[in-house]
Structure 1
Amino acid sequence: MQRCLLGSLAAVALAAVAGGACIPDVEPNVFVVPRCEQVAPTCGPEASESCCAAGEVKGGQFNRVDSRVPDAVYPATVADFHLDRFEVTVGRFRQFLEGYPATRPAAGAGAHPLIEGSGWDPAWDSRLPAGQDELRAELQCDANFRTWTDEPTGNEEAPINCVSWYVAFAFCAWDEGRLPTEAEWSYAAVGGNQHFVYPWGGDAPSDALAVYGCPTEQTVCPVPPVGSKSPAGDGEWKQADLAGSLFEWVLDYHAELDLIARCINCAQLSDGGFGREARGGAFSHDEGTLSPTYRLGEPPENANSFYGIRCARDE
């Protein structure tokens, strides 16, 4: 069942960090998210951008299923929103962990302002690690491919992995954001109603555009820093690594898309037994997962080395 609350709601005001703790990105329509203390501006291809930048995505209507067929039968409309330029880095996640468990979300936190019932459910509290030691242990999910280090040792710009859906939701809520809906994520990944085949356009995937295809059964491939394929691999609104790097958790449960009902600021909030949705492919997966239409359901408690976080925000 798709649950939506249609109509106009008050915009959420986002304040910039006081005192210049973060260096804003100079791109137009890009701002720096609030929880940026102690995060150095060392992300992007030149290692000089704020790791906490978020860009505005202008809303509109698009087709959710086949980006090459705009008139297919799965239309969706999304409102304007902001989406982080980079996947959440180890350095950004470190502050969340250092404050944990006080950084766990309150009831209703992390909600989409246009979708009723989309905030944190206190029944999920038991699905989060009980304390810092348990969270650190979860982040050690894979000895070869984990990105977390207990001390800052040169991996701060890598995307945090080994996070469950619950931890991803909790981080975004703490970061004064939320998980994007599947429709929002897809919209950003296909350039809205331009319906790109890949976030960067129509060119076939290559090592210059995305991080993917590591033969993990044969070798250890370090997960590169976020934005390592920028700007060539960026999407329409300057988001990096929408294809490859890590699968990104979204708000929705994995379910069949409704053939009839129009999706207007919607999310799939009913559990159909197929887990939560994750999108975008990963360093450890093949080219076929890089398509913005590739959909993957996974039990939300799973914390694997190929899952990461990208937060959305509202104006």
Structure 2
Amino acid sequence: MNHCCSPSAGRPPRPAVEIVGRGPHRLPQVSVPGQTFAMGDASGDGVRPDGEQPVHPVRLPAYSIDATTVTVADFRAFVSGTGYRTEAEAFGWSAVFHLAVEPSAEVIGSMAGTPWWLGVCGADWAHPSGPGSVALDDHPVVHVSWNDAHAYCAWAGRRLPTEAEWECAARGGKPSLRYPWGHDLPAEWACNIWQGTFPTVNTAEDGWVTTAPARSYEPNDYGLYQPVGNVWEWCADWFSPTYYAESPLDDPSGPPVGAARVIRGGSYLCHDSYCNRYRNAARSSNTPDSSTGNTGFRTVAR
């Protein structure tokens, strides 16, 4: 069989893509006031390798942030205006959760250590489950790498949020709480996460098996929709599990170098038994060229 590629072989370096021109960024904006807030895990929920502690003060100037993650429709406008090809399209495959794979799609292997992630030929931002699937305009765009998100920002005259900006906005002015709405999960669903037995049975009690529309559930007190759950969100920073111990007070932007970029917020696959990262303080990372069916982004400006 002539496979489109091999996920175990890694992805070759991709030439830098120059984005020419400026496009409209139509997402509603949320204003975050300048403030000093306590960043990090005050509840003891995080695992040590994630580096969610120590809790430390961070002072930020005011900024604006997208009320929702960038949607499929927004990303389509970018692609239409520039002819941009995402890294998933260039490499010919992307990672799809095993229960979401289109039945007729060609699967070329599973990800090491996480066999529920399958390399699917033809999976990309417009075809999230495989080449025969169709992305829904009001859902968050997924299968975008950090590099793809950065390219969108260059076109839109925006940038990715720093990790500190992301957490400040997600907290919505409520200090030291586990979730955007408070310290506990409510009786009714407040975010799109996994229900059932991970990774084999999703009962979809919250109404969604994979992504939910970007404007779902109640926004936080600043007006952000789904900063936790639904999809992971790329941040500007390089990831380091020890950065919080040396982070400056004023407007931190992460370590100067690294191997992976920060992702925040968790996704529809988060479950306490496996990935308890649908929290304000939770952090993780992925390499800048990685694309998956549960990672998107939102943008900021000052």
Same fold (TM over 0.5): yes
Mapped partners of 1:187, 1:35: distance in 2: 22
C-alpha deviation, 1:153, in angstroms: 6.0
Query: Larger % of strand: which?
Result: 2
Task: Indicate the residue corresponding to 1:60 in structure 2.
Answer: 35
* TM-score where L is the length of structure 1: 0.65
C-alpha deviation, 1:216, in angstroms: 4.9
Pick from 273, 276, 301: which aligns with 2:289? Answer: 301
1:259 aligns with 2:245: yes
C-alpha deviation, 1:180, in angstroms: 0.2
Change (3 A) 1:299 1:272: same
Question: In the alignment, residue 281 of structure 1 is paired with which amino acid?
Answer: G
Change (3 A) 1:134 1:290: same
C-alpha deviation, 1:141, in angstroms: 4.1
1:134 aligns with 2:96: no
Equivalent pair of 1:74/1:262 in contact (CA under 8 Å): no
Task: Indicate the residue corresponding to 2:264 in structure 1.
Answer: 279
C-alpha deviation, 1:167, in angstroms: 0.5
Q: Which stretch of the first structure deviates more once superposed, 140-149 or 234-243?
A: 140-149
Pick from 130, 142, 146: which aligns with 1:161? Answer: 142
Task: Indicate the residue corresponding to 2:105 in structure 1.
Answer: none
Pick from 261, 268, 275: which aligns with 2:254? Answer: 268
1:241 aligns with 2:222: no
1:195 aligns with 2:176: yes
Cα RMSD (Å) of the superposition? 3.1
Structure 2 runs not aligned, ≥5 long = 1-22, 45-53, 102-122, 203-207
Matched residue SS, 2:277: helix
1:172 aligns with 2:172: no
Question: In the alignment, residue 56 of structure 1 is paired with which amino acid?
Answer: S
Q: Which stretch of the first structure deviates more once superposed, 195-204 or 159-168?
A: 195-204
Q: Which stretch of the first structure deviates more once superposed, 211-220 or 304-313?
A: 211-220
Matched residue SS, 1:169: helix
State how many pairs are aligned: 234
Task: Indicate the residue corresponding to 1:88 in structure 2.
Answer: 70
Mapped partners of 1:224, 1:270: distance in 2: 35
User: Residue by residue, what CA displacement relative to the aligned partner does 1:51-92 show, whole Å, maximum 9, x if unpaired?
Assistant: x111101121112112469xx652111110011011111111
Matched residue SS, 1:249: strand
Mapped partners of 1:286, 1:277: distance in 2: 20
Pick from 105, 126, 140: which aligns with 1:148? Answer: 126
Structure 1 runs not aligned, ≥5 long = 1-32, 37-51, 105-127
Equivalent pair of 1:61/1:193 in contact (CA under 8 Å): no
C-alpha deviation, 1:264, in angstroms: 0.9
Q: Percent identity?
A: 25
Change (3 A) 1:190 1:74: same
Question: In the alignment, residue 93 of structure 1 is paired with which amino acid?
Answer: F
* TM-score where L is the length of structure 2: 0.68
Equivalent pair of 1:63/1:193 in contact (CA under 8 Å): no
C-alpha deviation, 1:260, in angstroms: 4.6
The 5 A counterparts of 1:216-235 are 216-218=199-201, 221-229=209-217, 231=218, 234-235=219-220
